[in-house]
A and B are shown apart, each in its own frame.
Chain A
């Protein structure tokens, strides 16, 4: 699992 997961939802 990646450590950085961008939160692209508002």
Chain B
């Protein structure tokens, strides 16, 4: 495992920790899109279908369990926790995420490396992950006061896939047997590009020591 991949995973983990910290300590999920969280839970379920059958490393298995467990605990907090669920701003979270699911499923059935159940589900998870942040980005744009934890959450999430891209370049150059997964690369690039606008305002607000606010 190279440093880019590891750093990417840690960023991903950090984003989840930051979000859980906000929810657990502040008992608030203000500004967080439930729809994005639902999409991520679905992404993890479909991608980690091999969790009990395909052992790669202890690190791999533990991380999969952590991502699945955190995704479901976030959903539980936002939907069922009596205090947290009242801070969820349903009216601002209006993205039609079912269309994303449908579009990604159709695309996965059409464009994949191999036509098997597991491979199509894996491909679906890759496509869905690329666009899962959209409801969250729309919600951020509508929120006037984005708190630090929410801003950092999205920032870490964007950095994670960016680092994965460096990891793919590194593996492409160093591993003879590394398959040319162009499908993952294109999706990963789109996923990272979606954050470009957000990154710009995040860095700007950080440099100017101002509160983060996205233009409407």
Contacts and interface: CB of A to CB of B under 8 A. Distances in A.
Interface of A: 5-10
B60 A10 contact: yes
Contacts of A10: 9, 12, 60, 63-64, 67
B56 A6 contact: yes
From DSSP, what is the main secondary structure of chain B's interface residues?
helix
Contacts of A6: 54, 56
Interface residue range, chain B: 10 to 19
A1 B67 CA distance: 31
Interface of B: 5, 9, 12, 50, 54, 56-57, 60, 63-64, 67, 122, 164, 167, 179
Contact of A8 (B12, B56, B67, B164): B56
A10 B164 CA distance: 10
Contacts of B164: 9
A7 B46 CA distance: 13
Nearest to A3: B114
Nearest to B184: A9
5 contacts: A7-B54, A8-B57, A9-B164, A10-B9, A10-B60
* Interface hub of A5, A6, A7, A8 (most chain B Cβ within 10 A): A7
